[in-house]
């Protein structure tokens, strides 16, 4: 899995996390991260060892006496976010598209229903994982192009929402 980590104004791209040798912005680094308990971790970076506390709800990482605001996003989450934002037409209607090929497990919003930003619209199963597609805006469902047990390709239109 690859990750994008934003610390302040800097973005770091971390690749090949499972191997122990990661690529940090294209440079190989020896890294080991072990969970100790709660939000406490042990981090070995090349020859140095650190104790790390991760406060996910605050997007905060404590490395020794230093505190950093950090936002981590994996490539799967980035793809979901990109497709959930939808494409807005000239009429203002946003089309939500499938972020990956898969099977529609359930449709949770139907034509004519009002939805709130962040509300679940439908669930797609891909590679035995269920992926919840949430509404990028509050509005009215104008069209539902899919139904349960239907297969879809990446980029296929799923729903159309008219903003409130």
Domains of the chain: 3-75 (no CATH), 85-163 (2.40.50.100)
CB 153 within 8 A of CB 97: no
- For the stretch 57-71, pLDDT in tens is 778 888 878 888 887
Of 128, 86, 122, 83, the closest CA to residue 104 belongs to: 122
Tens digits of residue pLDDT in 40-91: 888 888 888 888 888 877 788 888 788 888 877 777 776 666 655 555 555 6
Could you give the CA distance from residue 100 to residue 132 in angstroms, rounded to a whole number?
A: 12
Q: Are strands 139-144 and 3-7 parallel, antiparallel or unpaired?
A: unpaired
CA dist 94 → 15, 87, 162 (Å): 33, 5, 6
Rg (CA), the chain: 20
pTM over 0.75: no
In 10 A of CB 23, how many CB atoms? 15
């Amino acid at each position: 899995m690859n990750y994008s980590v934003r610390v302040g104004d800097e973005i770091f791209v971390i690749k090949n996390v499972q191997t122990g040798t990661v690529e940090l912005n294209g440079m190989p680094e020896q890294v080991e991260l072990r969970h100790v308990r709660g939000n406490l971790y042990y981090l070995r970076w090349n020859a140095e060892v650190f104790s790390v506390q991760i406060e996910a709800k605050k997007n905060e990482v404590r490395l020794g006496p230093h505190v950093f605001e950090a936002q981590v996003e994996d490539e799967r989450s980035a793809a979901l976010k990109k497709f959930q934002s939808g494409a807005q037409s000239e009429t203002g209607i946003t089309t939500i598209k499938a972020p990956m090929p898969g099977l529609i497990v359930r449709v949770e919003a139907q034509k004519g229903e009002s939805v709130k930003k962040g509300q679940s619209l439908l669930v797609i199963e891909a590679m035995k994982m269920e992926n919840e597609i949430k509404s990028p805006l509050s509005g009215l469902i104008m069209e539902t192009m899919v139904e349960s047990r239907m297969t879809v390709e990446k980029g296929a239109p799923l729903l159309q929402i008219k903003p409130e």
